Amino acid sequence: MSAAFVVIAGLGLGTYALKAAGPLLLGGRALPPRLERVAQQLPAALLASLVVVSTVAADRALVVDARLAGVAAAGVALRLRAPFVVVVAVAVAVTGVARALGG
């Protein structure tokens, strides 16, 4: 068995344990009120951080490149109430064009 398969087994099991703790141990029970409030607030923070990291992070540096133009265009599209698919398509197109122009 190669080292890669050992990593797949170890990382796979560990990751599954992290993923399954909530659904298996909590089941369908409601969360305590304070945790429920945190759970309602968590997505905004996580999504915002995902936007930032996937837009301006390159490994461990903050960089401004064509992605930022694309995501800004996505913001404009959202403001204009464009559907989800259009928002993503606009971001891809603007990023591609900005990069072709040397962004």
Partner 1 sequence: MADDRSAPDAGPGDRLRRRQIERQALSISVALAPFGLVFGVACVQAGLGLAEAIGFSALVFTGSAQFAAVGVLGDGGGVAAAISAGLLLNIRSLAFGVLLAPALTGPRWLRALFAQLVIDESTAVATSQTERRWQRYGFLAGGLGVFTVWNLSTVVGVLLATDDAFIEDLGLDAAAPAAFLALLWPRLVGPGGAQGRRIAFAGAVVAAAAVPLAPPGIPILLAGLGVLAAGRGPVPRGGDVA
Query: 74 to 93, contacts with partner 1 by CB under 8 A?
Result: 74-75, 78, 83-85, 87-88, 90-93
* C-beta neighbour count of 56 within 10 angstroms: 15
DSSP 30: P
Report the site for partner 1 in 6-65 (rule: CB under 8 A).
Answer: 6-12, 14-16, 18-24, 26-31, 34-35, 37-39, 41-57, 59-62
Min separation Cβ 87 and partner 1, Å: 5
Paired strand residues for 57: 62
Min separation Cβ 86 and partner 1, Å: 9
The rounded distance, in Å, linking the Cα atoms of 97 and 86 is 16
